[in-house]
């Protein structure tokens, strides 16, 4: 591993022009922490959990040579979703606190809501309902504009087939609204013995916990980092005006996922 946290067998830079790289490496906006980004006893507990988990696993990070960890500016980290361990492994690999987007159904009940919101740094959105997701999207936008990074699974579902699925519009929308680059990341070599069961929330919570446990001491995990995707300037923020740019970004993200899945 190099001092930047990447192996020496990384693929070469894609050859994007100098202005692209200058924009990518330019520090983000001055960090003005929102309430969600402040350090509390619970965020310290989360950091301790990540440190302990990181000591028990080994993650080989490959791919893009230009991204230094911890992330120096706000990124939208877009990853494939294998099981409940993904969110921990991404933060361990990138050495960065990520605020993850999750379905609102995980926030039902005071205990679940407290854990998801305060300990797991998760932001609720309404799956398949843009209007119902506005509050969560505003939280994401504030975090990105304050220099924080968002984690999102753009396929919207667990995908264990090794073939990238069609991505949804959330990552592209956030990128256009904030100017934050999307960082495609592909996770592989997780232990997947625990079956993903989507019948009800308690069972899903249990299988998610088991997937975290079964990957404890996994020393073969790989994270492949793709080329960051930058949004074009879109002065007109009306939904109909944003659709072509959303389609362009989604297309690039799907192509990146396909390349990362095949990366050797």
Best-predicted range by mean pLDDT (24-33, 61-70, 95-104, 213-222): 213-222
- The Cβ of residue 222 has, within 10 Å, a number of other Cβ atoms equal to 18
The answer as to whether 7 is a domain residue is: no
* Cα-based distances in Å from 28 to 124, 162, 237: 25, 33, 22
* Nearest of 128, 162, 175, 131 to residue 258 by alpha carbon: 162
* Cα-based distances in Å from 70 to 94, 124, 154, 161: 6, 25, 22, 30
Q: What is the pLDDT of residue 4?
A: 34
Question: pLDDT tens digits, residue range 163-211?
Answer: 888 999 999 999 999 999 999 999 999 999 988 766 677 788 888 899 9
pTM of the model: 0.85
Residue-number span of the structural domain to which 109 is assigned: 38-262
State yes or no: pLDDT of 217 exceeds 70.
Answer: yes
* DSSP labels, 22-60: HHHHS--S-----GGGS--HHHHHHHHHHHHHHHH--EE
The answer as to whether 1 is a domain residue is: no
Q: What is the pLDDT of residue 24?
A: 53
Q: What is the pLDDT of residue 1?
A: 38
The answer as to whether 204 is a domain residue is: yes
Best-predicted range by mean pLDDT (40-44, 63-67, 128-132): 40-44
Encoded tokens for 257: 């996922």
Q: How many domains does the chain have?
A: 1
- The Cβ of residue 238 has, within 10 Å, a number of other Cβ atoms equal to 8
The answer as to whether 147 is a domain residue is: yes
CATH number of the domain that 223 lies in? 3.40.1130
> Using 50, 70 and 90 to split pLDDT, how confident is the model at 33?
low
Strands 182-188 and 221-225: antiparallel
Question: pLDDT tens digits, residue range 81-126?
Answer: 999 999 999 999 999 999 999 888 888 888 888 888 888 899 998 7
* Cα-based distances in Å from 83 to 87, 164, 201: 9, 15, 14
The answer as to whether 107 is a domain residue is: yes
Give the integer Cα–Cα distance in Å for 64 and 45. 31
């Amino acid at each position: 591993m190099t001092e930047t946290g990447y192996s020496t067998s990384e693929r070469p830079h894609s050859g994007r022009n100098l202005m692209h790289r200058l924009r990518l490496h330019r520090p983000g906006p001055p960090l003005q922490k929102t309430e969600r980004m402040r350090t509390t006893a619970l965020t310290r507990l989360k950091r301790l959990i990540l440190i302990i988990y990181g000591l028990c696993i080994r993650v080989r990070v490959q791919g893009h040579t230009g991204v230094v960890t911890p992330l120096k500016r706000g990124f939208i980290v877009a990853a494939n979703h294998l099981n409940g361990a993904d969110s921990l492994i991404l933060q361990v690999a990138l050495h960065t606190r990520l605020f993850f987007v999750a379905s609102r159904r995980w926030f039902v009940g005071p205990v679940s809501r407290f854990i998801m919101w305060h300990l797991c740094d998760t932001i609720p959105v309404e799956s398949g309902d843009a209007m119902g997701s506005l509050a969560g999207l505003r939280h994401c936008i504030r975090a990105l504009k304050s220099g924080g990074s968002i984690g999102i699974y753009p396929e919207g579902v667990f995908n264990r087939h090794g073939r990238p699925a069609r991505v949804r519009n959330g990552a592209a929308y956030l990128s256009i609204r904030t100017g934050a680059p999307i960082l495609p990341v592909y996770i592989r070599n997780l232990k997947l013995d625990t079956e993903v069961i989507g019948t009800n929330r308690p069972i899903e919570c249990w299988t998610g916990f088991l997937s975290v446990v079964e990957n404890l001491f996994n020393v073969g995990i790989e994270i492949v980092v793709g080329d960051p995707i930058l949004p074009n300037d879109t002065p007109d923020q009306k939904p109909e005006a944003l659709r072509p740019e959303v389609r362009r970004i989604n297309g690039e993200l799907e192509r990146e996922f396909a390349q990362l899945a095949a990366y050797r």
